[in-house]
Amino acid sequence: MARDKKLIIGNWKMNLGVHEASLYVHKLADQVKSHRDVEVVLAPTILALQTLSVQVNYRQFKLAAQNFYWRDHGAFTGEVSATQLRGIVQYGLVGHSERRHVFHETDKDTRAKVQAALRNGIKPILCIGETASERTMGETSDALYDQLIGGLANVTSEELEDVIIAYEPVWAIGTGNNAVPNDVIAAARAIRHHLKHLYGSRAASSVTILYGGSVTEHSAADYLALSEIDGLLIGGASLDASAFAGIVEKAYQSVKKK
């Protein structure tokens, strides 16, 4: 994605059923206009993806999977693969802190999922972020480096163009305790610095970086004004269609100002 665009992603987590998801999309479609410089992505329950894929106008919204298994087919009861999601979603969340901390997914799992997404034409959104104790110990940059190496091993610089990095400090997710813009600037610079070391300066400066962690309709504009990041990953505040539409509107305003 070109860096003069903004990417706004709503992660509904395990909220809203199929019917509610469909009503939400009707409501949101009335409230947001299509804009070529703002990409709006919805990550509903996996159950709603099929319905929404028929309902949404892909020029207005794209869809993301919140999770998927890294194998393409086989005897993996209860799992859904990136191959099965192909054509339905354009993006897939990988390494979200809830996957890492509640479901104990490792960097090895994360890396396998990044690979699965890429080989199935789905853009992985690799979520990385430090814990509260890493932050207190001054280890934020090291934690980000470890998670980048862990998730991106085997990704070529060409493939990196399809990878989105979401900086999501663990202590800020769902807590109401958002990182201040200066923290986000420092983290985004650290991420580009690490990527420069791994992939060179062109790849590092063109990669899309998002911030996520307790962003609301009121704080969104402060982050969207930062040149270091390219959009937002929104959890709680995306559950209300009007609040989410308000955030998308802030993204339009931020691109218009440029």
| Other beta carbons less than 10 A from residue 225's beta carbon | 13
- Smallest distance, Å, CB 9 to ligand PEP? 8
Nearer to ligand PEP, 113 or 199 (CB): 113
Per CB under 6 A, the segment of 18-26, 28-36, 61-69, 209-217 that binds ligand PEP is 209-217
* Closest residue to bound ligand PEP by CB: 235
Among candidate residues 117, 121, 188, 110, the one with its CA nearest the CA of residue 151? 110
Among 92, 169, 212, 231, binds ligand PEP (CB under 6 A): 212
Q: Which of residues 131-190 bind ligand PEP (CB under 6 A)?
A: 168, 173-174
* Active-site residue identified among 39, 96, 194, 249: 96
How near is the Cβ of 215 to ligand PEP at its closest, in Å?
6
CA atoms within 13 A on the CB side of 171: 12
Cβ atoms 125, 67 nearer than 8 A? no
Contact 238, 10 (CB under 8 A): yes
> Any contact of residue 234 with ligand PEP (CB under 6 A)?
yes
72 phi and psi, to 5 degrees?
-85, -35
HEC secondary structure over 189-211: HHHHHHHHHHHCHHHHHHCEEEE
Task: Give the distance from CA 46 to its chain's centroid.
Answer: 16
The least CB distance from residue 43 to ligand PEP, in Å, is 9
Nearer to ligand PEP, 110 or 204 (CB): 110
> Binding residue for ligand PEP (CB under 6 A) from 117, 163, 187, 215?
215
> Which of 75/102 has CB closer to ligand PEP?
102
Query: In the set 6, 235, 244, 254, which binds ligand PEP (CB under 6 A)?
Result: 235
User: Closest separation between CB of residue 196 and ligand PEP, Å?
Assistant: 26
Q: Which is nearer to ligand PEP, 163 or 234 (CB)?
A: 234
Q: Which of 214, 217, 241, 245 binds ligand PEP (CB under 6 A)?
A: 214
How far separated are the first and last CA of the chain, in Å rounded? Answer: 17
Q: CB nearer to ligand PEP: give 148 or 210.
A: 210
Determine the distance from the C-alpha atom of residue 148 to the mean position of all C-alpha atoms in its chain, rounded to a whole number: 15
Active-site residue, 20 included: no
Residue 66 is a binding residue for ligand PEP (CB under 6 A): no
Is 168 annotated as catalytic? yes
Which residue out of 39, 98, 134, 168 is catalytically annotated?
A: 168
Residue ranges that bind ligand PEP, judged by CB under 6 A: 11, 168, 173-174, 212-215, 233-237
Q: Which residues are catalytic?
A: 96, 168
